[in-house]
Structure 1
Amino acid sequence: MFRSFAKIQRQFGSLLSFCEVCPKKRPLTGGLNYSTATAERKKFYEDVSISQGEGGLYEINLDRRKLKTPGGKLFTVPNEALAIAVATEWDAQRETLKFYTMHLTTLCNTALDNPTHRDKDQMISSALKFLETDTVCYRVDEPHGLVELQKNEWDPVLHWIENRYNVTIGASSSILGPEIPEQTRDTFRQHLNSYNFWSLTGLEFVITQLKSVVLSLGMIDRHLSVEQAVLLSRLEEEYQIRRWGNVEWAHDYDMYELRARTAAGALFVHLSSESSTVKRKLMQD
């Protein structure tokens, strides 16, 4: 059945390539660690499959047992593409289950259990709070090299999103940041409201990772790659590392892990918006 995942790979290959993480424990951030996300457990199944249940929803089967959420609900997803992606996470596990690497499963659990009991309006308001402190909007006055780097790397993305959504955002070196016009907030609120609850769950997760609405929408709209978005979100840190050096493996690990979480969130947004099923060619014996 996992041959069907090839279609998803062709569509979202650039995202999937970053969905692996280094084998080290670290809790998920962004409000998603309500379950024991850092735990490991001995693998207790051999086969993973998906099936379509009531209401057209898709379920994940571990041998003959149906997967459930941490809250005890039946684990169901809205379409076949997302079901295959989640099933692939479970199929990729070896002797032990590394839950902290299963970002798509965790995002589905969050959407299903909704542990913070929020509705769409509350999620949108939470996401838009990052606009006030957006990474690309806060600039430094010195050193000159970093000032120029921020201008050269962040300005093009900022101009792109202002033109794309016909809004004004701006940038500032003031500790208070730029003053975001109310019309800009309304435009983004209306845009975010077009996403369904599941997609908003993924988008909010991405925004939390990058600390930026601008970079997140740039990536979701495919103006930026995962790698570009992550590098731009870490611009000042990368500048300091090039100048002063870094702690051996720590920098690379943090970079790879951020890429994995960001890629998984972006993939989740796209797959949870998918309405069509993955078509299979039926073969006769």
Structure 2
Amino acid sequence: MLRNLGRLYNRASCGVMQRWPCPYQRGQACLPVAVGNSKAYSNATSERKKFYQDVSISQGEEGLFEINLDRRKLKTPGGKLFTVPNEALAIAVATEWDAQRDTLKFYTMHLTTLCNTALDNPTQRDKDQIITATLKYLETDTVCYRVEEPAGLVELQKNEWDPVLDWVERRYNHLGSYNFWSLTGLEYVITQLKSVVLSFGLVDRHLTVEQAVLLSRLEEEYQIQRWGNVEWAHDYDMYELRARAAAGALFVHLSSESSTVKRKLLQD
């Protein structure tokens, strides 16, 4: 089914791969830069001087976990109280805030961004709508888009992508088992890797982060081997993509976690 869809897309697109639109989830989401009643927010690509010293978590109403900066409660860009469903995810988010030094580098805080997306739901979609949107990404899935030349790249795509396609066709039938938060994370991973197939492989631990990123950049890596590259730019793009993909996969896992983490945040 996936291979047939890829072939149909190839003919329709005349070999031109389209970029995937994904408002709010490609690192452009707003992040809160203040707590309490303040409504000052910043774009995720900006930085700001660090304004707090201590980070902690607490459990509030209905068992949800909150993030506290100097004992003041964190809020979302939409003004909601920043809450997550379990302690494991709260610790991971708090660690992002604690890792910031003199300035807040919002573009490194992927888990915080994903939580804001799930809480504020800026596109006002329900679970079924996210599933429908996710499946539409198959129309431009990286591993379904095959070249006809050069022969070396054709063979490389066949050898590296076909085994993942075989696995995903055996493994997945539907997305209904994912909760809203997990679907938010999964969609984020898909927009980074440009592939539903590779995202399933990563989230299901069939692929490592390094493997998933390499497979998503297969054609680029092939061209680099032939023609060379600007080393620092290539490395930066690759590591940034790894960071985003890893954060998205971790978000899916943590937002599905139901057990309570026993250890305390930032315990010496």
Q: Which residue is equivalent to 1:258?
A: 241
Task: Give me the whole-angstrom Cα distance separating, in 2, the residues matched to 1:239 and 1:227.
Answer: 16
Q: 1:248 — aligned with what?
A: 231
- Give the CA deviation at 1:125: 1.1
In 1, the alpha carbon distance for the partners of 2:247 and 2:95 equals: 13
Q: Is the 8 A contact 2:29 2:113 kept in 1?
A: no
Query: Aligned letter for 1:77?
Result: V
1:74 aligns with one of 75, 81, 94: 81
Amino acid at match of 1:276: S
TM-score, normalized by length of structure 2?
A: 0.83
Corresponding position of 1:31: 24
> Structure 1 stretches (4+) deviating beyond 6 angstroms?
none
Between stretches 30-39 and 133-142, larger displacement belongs to 30-39
CA distance in 2, matches of 1:102, 1:149: 35
Could you say which residue in structure 1 is the equivalent of 2:14? none
Higher RCO by CA contacts (8 Å cutoff, separation 6 or greater): 1
**Are the aligned partners of 2:189 and 2:245 in contact in 1 as well (CA < 8 Å)?**
yes
* Whole-Å separation in 2 of the counterparts to 1:141 and 1:280: 54
Alignment correspondent of 2:90 = 83
- Cα deviation code 1:128-149 (max 9, x no counterpart): 1111221111111110100110
Per the alignment, in what secondary structure is the counterpart of residue 164 of structure 2?
Answer: helix
- Residue in 1 that maps onto 2:120: 113
Name the structure 2 match of 1:225.
208
The match for 1:94 is 101
Q: Which of 133, 148, 162 lines up with 1:141 in the alignment?
A: 148
Maintained 8 Å contact 1:52/1:58: yes
Q: Secondary structure at the match of 2:100?
A: coil
1:153-183 CA distance string (max 9 Å, x none): 0111111112223xxxxxxxxxxxxxxxxxx
Return the offset for 1:34.
Answer: 3.5
Q: Aligned equivalents of 1:100 and 1:136: distance in 2?
A: 28
- Alignment-mate amino acid for residue 128 of structure 2: D
Partner of 1:47: 54
2:161 paired residue number: 154
How many aligned residue pairs are there?
229
How much does 1:30 deviate? 5.4
Q: Name the structure 2 match of 1:200.
A: 183
After TM superposition, give the deviation of residue 122 of structure 1 in Å. 1.3
